Amino acid sequence: MSLDVTPSVAHRGFTDRILRRGPLEAVATTIIAAGVVMLMQPFSLTLYSWSFATTLFGTVMFTIVSKVRE
């Protein structure tokens, strides 16, 4: 009698791996941080002008993805 000891590996698709709360929250957090840096950096007025839109987008994204399944 032979015993199959090979563990069953669940093959998850690319979307299953990416569309989870953890990675999406990390992306949203990075966008918020980028928006805050753009708001306070002393180098480019254009970056400053786009900072609010970036932070708002990141914040809305964070609020939405925090409801996504784990």
Binding site residues, other proteins, CB under 8 A: 25, 28-29, 32-33, 35-36, 39-42, 45, 48-49, 51-52, 55-56, 58-59, 62-63, 66
Inter-CA distances, 48 with 30, 31, 35, 55, Å: 17, 14, 9, 11
CB nearer to other proteins: give 16 or 52: 52
CB nearer to other proteins: give 10 or 40: 40
What span, in angstroms and rounded, lies between the C-alpha atoms of 42 and 13? 43
CB nearer to other proteins: give 12 or 21: 21
- What DSSP state is assigned to residue 68? S
